[in-house]
Structure 1
Amino acid sequence: MGANQSKASIANERLVIERLRALELKDEPDNGYVHIGEKELVYPEKRVKSTAPWATLSIEEVGNWEHELLQDPKNRLALSALSSADPKTVLTSRATIIEDQQIFSVKIPFEGAPITNQRSSGRCWLFASTNVFRVALMKRHGLDKFELSQAYLFFYDKLEKANFFLEQILDTAGEDLDSRLVQTLLEGPVGDGGQWDMVYNLVNKYGLVPQVLYPDSFNAQSSSAINSLITTKLREDALKLRDFATSGTKRRNDILAAKEKMMREIHLILTLTLGPPPSPSSKFTWSYLDKNGAAHELTTTPLAFAKELETPRSVRITNSTVHDMFSLVNDPRNEYGTLLTVDRLGNIVGGRNITYVNVSMDTMKTACIKMLQAGLPIFFGCDVGKYSNSTSGIMDTDLIDYELGFNVRLGLSKAQRLMTHESAMTHAMVLTAVHLDEAGKSVRWRVQNSWGEAAGSEGWFVMSDKWMDEFCFQAVVEPRFVDKSVRDVLKTEPKVLPLWDPMGALA
């Protein structure tokens, strides 16, 4: 959203006029009707509508294309190669793979281990955030390996999203069912994805627990079955609630009672498929061995355990807490130095809204470099599927040479990719290192992924600086690593993007 509409070119107008002049109308002998395919062309500067004939695809013309194409021996070679293997593999640049090595001049001293694995689920944002949190806890408790329970946050996120969805349904009961807003709400009531502010909401309300005390169930690792069931149930509930709210025959208390019954059913599904989670305020006892092999026991609550992130003995150098950290985003469609939010996007009713400070990539990268130099890991969101290879673990705009194979140049800008829904935040990971050139400019970045050790270089990826410019959208930073002018944006009134905006995508 926010981009200027393109203007129709003079060349386009001339083409339309020529087509109209060349148009020959022929009566159909069987019924006397005239059949003309038409389409509208809208000229935004004048708001004038014109018509032009639809251009059909000629079989003869297609045959000529094929004949001409195969006259070129390079195309015959390309046909042999590209039809027998994945084009991305065939067109992978060997030179780029060699260039993108796991060598970095700035690396945080404590990256965290082991490499985690979200398996067949969309929980990357929970893995990325807990991989950031665990570094502080590992430092505090002297651990060489440690995981926080992603499933614990996953359980409560699903439960809260269901409640958030039903409240939204009640709030929009006066909207037409087929309105874009209601249809967007119904698309994915409890998807696996999320955002940084949603992580904060969960940790603030429910705390954290070690993974050994609430490990993944089958349905946490492979979430499609419960997602399908809960989505179907919530859509059914949505229709009932809309009917209750608009019929005029149901009192508010009756509607609330109906909604509570619906939530109890969602809670039942989650409990039976993920297992009963620890209560946020109930004590648990965690037994562990430190890196020297010494045995320890800690008795605490999930909420108290999360508070350890704020203690001086953690890896944090200042008193900055999870509450203070915020999202920088790069959205070229919107003005830099503005606060963005997305309408009706969230997971916990009454929780913190999703907010982004929109900045240039230079501002974002400068903040990331400063955080890494201070020894701190960084949660970031990107479009991981573009120009990347999960086997080699390389993300580089030069990795796949489509122009070489197809003689087709892909030239969309970052803003245009957002405007056309070609790109959006699809995955969250963690930055732990950067390689700087002699001038102090970033060259490549080290990325901790959550796809297991079989992906990349034992779970680690390399991101080129150019790839970061094009396909990285978000980095979560501490306030002290950005200028006051950037921090002050948080105090301004946000620009509200619609729920269906690409910046509303959940990693």
Structure 2
Amino acid sequence: MLTSEIKLDEINQFQEDLNDKKDSKVIERAVSHQGILASSEDFDAESKMDPVFSIDLSTGKVADQKQSGRCWMFAALNTMRIRLMNELKVADDFELSQNYTNFWDKFEKSNYFLENVLKTADKSLDSRKVSWLMQTPQQDGGQWDMLCALIEKYGIVPKYAMPETFSSEKSAQLNKYLNLKLRHDATILRELVADKASDNKIAKTKEKMLTEIYRMLSYTLGEPTKKFDFEYRDKDNNYHIDQNITPQDFFKKYVGVNLEDYVSLINSPTDDKPFNQTYTIEMLGNVVNGRQVKHLNLEMSELKKLAIKQLQNGESVWFGSDVGQSSNSKKGIMDTHLYAPDELFNTDLSLSKAERLDYSESLMTHAMVITGVDLVDGKPTKWKVENSWGEKVGTKGYFVMSDDWMDEFVYQFVINKKYLTEDQQKAQKQDPIVLKPWDPMGALA
């Protein structure tokens, strides 16, 4: 392979090329003072993203995940609280406890990590799997199936039954020391396996580790709710109370969603993932022996049809995307035409959706909820999105997503399988192909 250093005379030529561009100084002044995005923003594109939709569900006050990475959790619980708002007429600011599911998620992820440490204990520390495992023992993020696994085991509670704490809203400190604890425990477990310790000794050692982790989580997130009184006034000011109810019974009685009916659908147009096939990801999950992460890969046009069907039936749609791409979080706009950095720099910055996935330019980073769509002649032009960043961004916390942006940067939908075609339902039942742990479809929102 021919290699070459950068030569000084080449640098002179690069500078001459820059000097030949008459507007280079104007552009330099603009970008150096305002940055790339502000200098390349297209105000015409912004004007087309007005927050008016032909289908617009009422979903209440937007929640705020604060300084934590629990968007997937907030989004899922937001889809469920709509049922309580519609059927029980609870207040618009009613929320389900994100901290309750957060506690059990971190506890289960810790156990999941320790189990994976034992499964890979025969591999060297510099093997890619072990290196990947140790990079992030646990984190705030997750996927839909992981949330289902938690609810199926532990149920849910109203926010007041297990409110937020410092560490749930600002998770950096807890994540730092919980991951330190898990890496410490990993060294012990690997040493026990290397020394050919008995299964009983390893099990008792891991049990002690989990006892200590449970204590850490209880101190930082509060002890998990076991029973509580479900007490509220509805919008007609009628008083209701259901005393001494468990989180599992609360979910069954008041939310009543059959989580098995809701399946994960992805759009990954890469060569290694043929459409109409299911996939799972090695070492991805939280609850050991719980619900498996499973995705059915479909064309984006099919995903849109399914999302519209669900919205028309009055149900919002959980989805995962790369929210940082071509978006303005303050204005609440996600649109591929919002910025034109390629025109600003006079260079080609284009990549296809598949190329962005293959070359690590993009992956799912954030989960939100689709609550509306604007249909023109039966086709979507823009979508209404409920975020979880509070009411100070977008339109009281709601964003507008262009249809083009959905094509390029949305990777996952959760849809009730009753809306799938017969062929899609059949495909969804397939045994999944197992992807590598670092596959982009294993990214946590």
Q: What interval of TM-score do these two structures reach, taking the shorter chain for normalisation?
A: over 0.9
- The answer to whether residue 278 in structure 2 is matched with residue 327 in structure 1 is no
TM-score of the superposed pair, with normalisation by structure 2: 0.97
The equivalent of 1:90 in structure 2 is 39
Answering whether residue 274 of structure 2 is matched by residue 274 of structure 1, we say: no
Residue 206 of structure 1: which of 154, 158, 164 is its match?
154
- State percent identity of aligned pairs: 41
Cα distance in 2 for partners of 1:454, 1:70 equals: 43
Distance in 1 (CA, whole Å) between partners of 2:416 and 2:61 is 25
Which residue is 2:240 aligned to? 296
SS of residue paired to 2:369: strand
Higher relative contact order (CA 8 A, sep 6+): 2
**1:416-460: CA deviations, max 9, x gaps?**
11111111110000000001111x111000000000111111101
Partner of 2:205: 258
Q: Deviations over 1:77-98 (max 9, x none)?
A: 1001000112112211100110
Q: Distance in 2 between matches of 1:103 and 1:456?
A: 13
Aligned counterpart, 2:164: 216
Higher mean C-alpha deviation, range 293-302 or range 418-427: 293-302
Aligned CA-pair RMSD: 1.2
Q: Residue 482 of structure 1 corresponds to which residue in structure 2?
A: 420
The answer on whether the counterparts of 2:89 and 2:234 sit within 8 Å (CA) in structure 1 is yes
Larger radius of gyration: 1
Q: What is the aligned partner in structure 2 of residue 21 from structure 1?
A: none
Residue 309 of structure 1 and its aligned partner are, at CA, apart by 5.3
The question of whether the paired residues in 1 share the 8 Å contact of 2:167 and 2:173 is answered with yes
Deviations 1:226-281 (A, max 9, x none): 10101111111101101101212x221111111111111111111101111102xx
Deviates more, 1:190-199 or 1:54-63: 54-63
The 5-angstrom pairing of residues 55-204 of structure 1 reads 55-108=4-57, 110-111=58-59, 113-145=60-92, 146-204=94-152
The alpha-carbon deviation at position 70 of structure 1 amounts to 2.7
Q: Helix, strand or coil for the counterpart of 1:57?
A: coil
1:69-125 Cα offsets, whole Å, 9 max, x none, are 1332221110010001121122111001100110111122x32x2210101110000
Distance 1:368 1:205 in 2: 28
Alignment partners' CA distance in 2, 1:274 and 1:491: 38
Correspondence for 1:372 among 311, 314, 321: 311
Q: Distance in 2 between matches of 1:86 and 1:393?
A: 19
Count of residues paired in the alignment:
441
Aligned to 2:373: 434
TM score, norm. by length of structure 1? 0.85
The 8 Å contact of residues 137 and 308 in structure 1, kept in 2 or not, is answered as no
Map of 2:431 onto structure 1: 493
Structure 2 unaligned residues grouped into runs of 5+: none
Residue 293 of structure 1, CA deviation: 2.1
Separation in 1, partners of 2:254, 2:429:
25
Tell me, yes or no, if the aligned pair for 1:341 and 1:495 is still in contact at 8 Å.
Answer: yes
Distance in 1 between the 2:437 and 2:411 partners?
Answer: 17
- Listed as ranges, the gaps of 5+ residues in structure 1 are 1-50, 312-319
Are positions 1:406 and 2:361 aligned together?
no
2:254 & 2:266 partners in 1: Cα distance?
Answer: 24
Once the two structures are superposed, residues 184-206 of structure 1 have per-residue CA deviations (whole angstroms, 9 ceiling, x without a partner) of 11111111000000010000001
**Matched position secondary structure for 2:392:** coil
